[in-house]
Amino acid sequence: MCNDTYNLYPPLEPYHSDWLKVGNGHAIYFEQCGNPEGIPVVFLHGGPGSGCNPGQRRFFDPAAYRIILLDQRGCGRSTPHGETEHNSTYELVDDIERLRAHLGIEKWLVFGGSWGSTLALAYALAHPSRPSGLILRGIFLSRQHEIDWFLGESRQFVPEAWQALLDYLPTPEQSEVLDAYSRRIFSADPAVHFPAARRWNDYEGSIMTLLPAESAGTPASDEVQLARARVQIHYIKQLCFVGHRNLLQEACTLAHIPTCIVQGRYDLVCPPLTAWELQQAMPHATLEMIADAGHSAMEHGTRHALIAATERFKHLLTNA
């Protein structure tokens, strides 16, 4: 199958799905689509907390790729839903490696966007012989100044979105947004945690694209909104468990892994400086800065660049 125009591939259904028990009561959902004999690729979703969705299968030629998606701990269809105990980046890295071994895969292409780019790098650093390549979008390295941008500094560009997040809180708590929302979202009272989770998630959703996005359809259920918010806040409060590391310095050791970086020029969630810094640390990597895009992988230019990257890797890895 050919994709000369780099549109999303047609919708497809998994040929296999299951749950993998990974310890401490957690079981991660995973699915496989496309060609069972094709080039293995694993998709790492963002958030933290969002889970995978059917549209993410469509970045890859199903005739050429064995497409593997998973919901990280506490996310999507993984169980227990929204659980934050025994849920850290190190455990997620172990889960990815455990899934690779479970599926009998020697090496696989690793595709991660936003938080998924952090996780992809952490995985590659922990298991440098396993990625056949890296496709990274909307780069996030979990440093304090990146968190500060997302939770405050971005108001310089989207003051109305930030004010909507503040307006939900009493004035005395508006100077401690993360802690104030954390108290509500982790409350045992559904009358408190459900509306707070929805307002929290609405903030990020409102700054995802350069231009206002069309409605994504039926809103997620209260339970899905709550799980996503709890997992995300849990990770943010720990700087995603990697904020103490110098991932830029560590990334210098990944020169043996072909790498493509795609970044929206006007990304308000993960500003482009981080992508540029990563490419400086990994000079063998290509960096494509999309001039008319924000954070979402589904904006036209970003989508085009990501599918073009999967097409290039298809030929590179087929001939390897």
Catalytic residue ranges: 114, 267, 295
Alpha-carbon gap, residue 193 to 209, rounded angstroms: 27
Contact 223, 197 (CB under 8 A): no
Q: In Å, how far are 21, 23, 94, 100, 254 from 257, measured between CA atoms?
A: 29, 30, 20, 17, 6
Residue from 110, 119, 111 nearest 140 by CA: 119
* Dihedral sign from CA coordinates of 38, 251, 45, 269: negative
Q: How many residues does the chain have?
A: 320
Sheet holding 259-264, edge to edge: 16-23, 26-34, 65-70, 39-44, 108-113, 131-137, 259-264, 286-290
Alpha-carbon gap, residue 213 to 263, rounded angstroms: 18
Beta bridge partners of 19: 29
Alpha-carbon gap, residue 268 to 246, rounded angstroms: 23
